[in-house]
Amino acid sequence: MAENQSINMINSYFEVQTRLEPYLNLVSEHVKKLGPCDTILESGAGRGILSLELLKNGKTVHAIDLKEEGLDMLMEDAQEQGLDSKLECYTADARQLSQDMFPDKFYDGVSSMLVLPLIKDTEGYLHEHYRVTKDGGTFVVSGPPKNPEDLSKSIEWWGELLKRRDDFQEIERHWDCVKEGIDKNRERLYNLYSKEEVADLVEDCGFTVEEVRENPLHLNNKGYLVTATK
């Protein structure tokens, strides 16, 4: 995707997500689960809406993503809000982090919000997150429903919620852009899991699962939000 197109898409997601209560609820859940942690890795941070919330809560945040555009916008926001002294951003592949920059057992908390389906090698990805988590540290992972029809129902629900807003006309074009983006992304989703399957994968790589629940971003108790400790 051309850089401008990519920036427009990130902006559209931002305009929609920051007005969508179920998304903000998911962000709050990640923040809550990471409550005891001081230094946090956000893996696949995108535009960094969660990272910024963690910074507002006094955390030290290292945000990584394959793409730098969203991270640049996160850094700008953090600078504007005087939160950048506790933020580091890295363009990196979360499946293979450099040992020098991301040493073993470094982070109190590691968060992966809505990234897992985009990862081909789930086990490798989870092992890398296990490696960088401190003993006693927390890992939080969330993702969409296993059944694609449930994702379609959620999209309809998000549209209804947004249409009820007084400012819907202002964001209608962003919502159209997001729907288009989700449709395109559907072709790139490698792994869709039930919450029980994710819990098993997280346990298999060494974590102890503490809580397995639905993802508040999705309709009808679908999707997953799994919290584990090392």
Binding site for ligand SAM (CB under 6 A): 44-46, 49, 64-67, 70, 93-95, 113-115, 118-119
Task: Yes or no: say if 110 and 132 are a contact pair by the CB < 8 Å rule.
Answer: yes
Question: Would you report the helix, strand and coil content of the chain in percent, each value rounded to 5?
Answer: 50, 20, 30
The distance of closest approach from Cβ of residue 8 to ligand SAM in the complex, given in angstroms and rounded to an integer, is: 15
| Backbone angle region of 141, left / alpha / beta, with phi > 0 → left and psi within -120 to 50 → alpha | beta
Classify residue 226 by its DSSP letter. Answer: E
Shortest distance, CB of residue 33 to ligand SAM, whole angstroms? 14
Distance CA 164, CA 27 (A): 21
CB nearer to ligand SAM: pick between 75 and 94: 94
**Smallest distance from ligand SAM to CB 162, Å:** 16
Find the shortest distance in angstroms from Cβ 166 to ligand SAM: 24
Please report how close the Cβ of residue 12 comes to ligand SAM at its closest, in angstroms: 12
Residue with tokens 């029980």: 196
Q: Which residue is nearest to ligand SAM (CB)?
A: 46
Closest distance to ligand SAM from the beta carbon of 71 (Å): 9
C-alpha 146/C-alpha 151 separation (Å) is 8
If the CB atoms of residues 55 and 115 are measured against ligand SAM, the closer one turns out to be: 115
Order of strands, sheet of 107-113, starting from the edge strand that comes earlier in the sequence: 87-91, 60-65, 39-43, 107-113, 133-143, 224-229, 208-213
* CB-nearer residue toward ligand SAM: 44 or 216: 44
Rounded to a whole number, what is the largest CA-CA distance in the chain? 49
Q: Which is nearer to ligand SAM, 93 or 170 (CB)?
A: 93
Structure tokens at 143: 């993702």
Pick 185 or 208: Cβ nearer ligand SAM: 185
**Cβ nearer to ligand SAM, comparing 44 with 137:** 44
